[in-house]
Amino acid sequence: MSEQLYGFVGLGQMGGPMSKRLVDAGHRLCVYDTDPATMQTLTSLGAIAAGSAREVADSAEIVFTSLPTPPVVRAVALGEGGLIEGARIRAMVDLSTTGTVVAREVAARLSEKNIVWADAPVSGGVKGAIAGTLAVMLSCPRATFDEIADLLEIFGKVFHVGEEAGMGQIAKLGNNMLSAAALTLSSEVLAMGVKAGLDPKIMVDIINAGTGRNSATQDKFPRNILPGTFDAGFATGLAYKDVRLCVDESEALGVPMVAGAVIREMMAITNAKYGGDSDFTSVAKLLEEWAGVKIRG
């Protein structure tokens, strides 16, 4: 087992399996989450429980975070009882999707305390977090990359996209916009096909054998939509947050995102109708209702 103690704050759908992979790889871990049940899962495997983010940062030099929204990241990093108050922390490795504004704000504040920020958002969903097949989009100083790359490879494939805070966020937001776009447009196409009398499974097979294949038709339709389970493992509220951030970032850079703005609106409608806790594949339910069909195998 590794002698060094690492920290992990945020043990939810993604943070839970990622922190477990660190423990399974033989690393000592100090963990904190607002949900005691998730902490119990990790402590039963040998992790040390902390009472706050600051307690984690009092114990560990390198602290990973996996948190749901930019305001939560800001609060955990900079708020009362946050990581910035810790006595031992010297690097915060954030696996969340925050956008560049919060990433740069937190990075600047942490640097005042000689704490290095690394934004390392991940893609691949809960299944990827469990299997260790995530894509990790890391932006941080080269020296920090050299120190933490081996740890991040426990989660999946690591891409060092640059040294400036927020660069990893741009890569992640672009990826998630494409994921949501593929899902939304594929749902429209499948609704059209079913309305015309085609079997949705056969149509998915045709698309996957042709040039229209994408992550939605190859994975989400066969696994989560055609069976009617709508359980891909990514909340609609988070998908809406990500595409909204993506459009904002693009426009701030002076890059028009016309099609992306449409996807943002589709996620907004899905979020309003089915709630933020619904699975983002629920956009297919929206298209079913509008078309008056069922896209089921």
| Catalytic machinery residues | 172
**Would you state the structure tokens that stand for residue 224, as one six-digit string?**
């989560």
Three-state SS for 176? helix
Nearest of 55, 180, 76, 172 to residue 122 by alpha carbon: 172
256 contact partners, CB below 8 Å, separation of at least 6: 250
262 contact partners, CB below 8 Å, separation of at least 6: none
Paired sense of beta strands 134-139 and 122-123, if any:
antiparallel
Paired sense of beta strands 62-65 and 91-94, if any:
parallel
Q: Nearest 5°: phi and psi at 84?
A: -60, -20
Cβ(226)–Cβ(200) below 8 Å: yes
Residue 214 CB coordination number (10 Å):
19
**Would you state the structure tokens that stand for residue 191, as one six-digit string?**
């609704």
Residue labelled with tokens 């299997």: 131
Distance separating alpha carbons of residues 137 and 121, to the nearest angstrom: 6
Paired sense of beta strands 91-94 and 116-119, if any:
parallel
